Amino acid sequence: MLLKTAIGEVSGLRYMVDKLEIQSSLANRVLLSTEFITQTNALETELNHVQQMLTALDNPIQVNAIDKITIKLMQVRDIHGSIKNLAGANVLDDIELFEVKSMALLASDIKKFLAEAKINIVTIPDLTKVIELLDPENTRIPSFYIYDIYSPSLGAIRKQIKQKKTEIEQQRQENSINLPSLEKELEQTRYAATQLEDEVRQTISTKLREHHEALKHALDNIATHDIMIAKAKQAKAMGLCKPTVSIDRTIFRKVFYPQLRDMHQEQGKRYQPIDIELESNPCLITGANMAGKTVVLKTVALSQYLFQFGFFIPAAEAIICPVKAILFSLDDEQSELSGLSSFAAEMLKINHIIKSAKSNHNILVLIDELARTTNPYEGRAIVTAVTNILTEHHVRSLITTHYSNLGTSCHKLRVKGFMENHASGTITKENIGEFIDYSLVEDDGITVPQEALKIAEILGVDAEIIEKAQAEIVRHKETTKE
């Protein structure tokens, strides 16, 4: 999977990508073409590069060089098309030659500033030969021109053109009968100059072709530095951490959902990060509605994707095991299939997940409110069956559910939920979120929070509904005792 594909599927990922201060369209294209990394060594290398740049941002001398690099990155254009033409034995036109010259000069400057900052992430090739070819007069000006120095014959013909123009102007003032003949000679001379210029372009393109691989590598590596600087600045600004790559476990300490946290901060509201550990088996999370179970899944999904696309993680600490794929069934991201009920669409998604789990254990499965659209009796049975299958195949999974006391031996957690003493002041529908404790605790199957009616009452739901619902709860308890 490429990052540009994941952006459309993973909640919160576009927000993180949009927050990157990418300087060039080149780097943006390269970033979006980033592949989902599954190899441990590749992940460690990518994260170490971000860390190296992040460390540099704390050093005044290095920051000064990075600022210079950033200015140069703003001027970089994506010239893969011109380089491709060069590799294909095509003759470059003046615009393409200008693009190559400009990029070579920028690459040379960036290479120099990187050396000043002692940043060794990826090497930018030495393009001195390219610069010498396209800047024979050593002006270091990025504009391109077919200089006379390329061809002595061309220089001589251009002098002839200048002389003939002067002569024609004089003859025109004198109304000379020789004017048509002189103008014809001028056009012939211009044509000869054009022929020589084409020969020069052919010669330059042929010589440049020897350097097309170096040019391509320079372009790619410039983009890499642009991306690494952006990732490092984002990590610093948003308080992200470098995750440790693991082979068997995933642990998040104070992990948060950046977009939601930023929104809460803008509104002056409290945001509560959470701790969670994922073993090589399913984990069930229960809790009342409004308790943030869906946000937990989205946060884990986002963090895993960020990790495997080489980003730092929105957490205080993180140890993450890379997976081959992330499969999820989230209610607000469900694609309704034509002609099917929501339950049928969900079951087809779950069926795909189970088939994948049976064939590849190294996946991460995230399911929100499994079997939420069917009756409680069958819903509990489906949750139990799916969880037991995932347990049998040792699939790292996180499943939220509103069913309690399920007949499965998997790890169970519960969101603490509504706590009247969690914040100070009077509880209202505007601030009720301040009184919810989003911490995850072990679910012993005995303590079952019953807070739905309390929340409904705070939200101003009709008192008769609350009263009759409470009476039904009492009746059910008495019937159960009998």
Per-residue pLDDT of the chain (482 residues; tens, 9 = 90+): 899 999 988 989 999 999 999 999 999 999 999 999 999 999 999 999 999 999 999 999 899 999 999 999 999 999 999 999 988 888 999 999 999 999 999 999 999 999 988 898 889 999 999 999 999 888 888 888 888 888 888 888 888 888 888 877 887 777 777 777 777 877 888 888 888 888 889 999 999 999 999 999 999 999 999 999 999 999 999 999 999 999 888 999 999 999 999 998 998 888 889 999 998 889 998 876 666 788 999 999 999 999 999 999 999 999 999 999 999 887 654 444 445 677 888 888 899 999 998 887 789 999 998 888 788 888 888 999 999 999 999 999 999 888 777 777 788 888 877 665 555 556 665 666 667 777 888 776 655 556 667 777 777 777 778 787 777 777 766 665 55
- DSSP element (H, E) containing 244: strand 244-245
CB 105 within 8 A of CB 141: no
Give the per-residue pLDDT at 159: 85
Strand, coil or helix: what is 2? strand
Strand, coil or helix: what is 400? strand
- Residues across the chain: 482
**363 forms bridges with which residues in the sheet?**
325
Give the per-residue pLDDT at 334: 44
Count Cβ atoms below 10 Å from residue 157 Cβ, excluding itself: 21
Count Cβ atoms below 10 Å from residue 470 Cβ, excluding itself: 13
CB 368 within 8 A of CB 375: no
Give the per-residue pLDDT at 179: 76
Q: Please give the C-alpha separations between residue 7 and each of 2, 18, 238, 258, 330, in angstroms, as whole numbers.
A: 9, 10, 19, 15, 15
Stated pTM of the model: 0.86
Give the per-residue pLDDT at 447: 55
CB 27 within 8 A of CB 223: yes
Burial class (CB in 10 A: 0-12, 13-18, 19+), 443: buried
Give the per-residue pLDDT at 228: 96
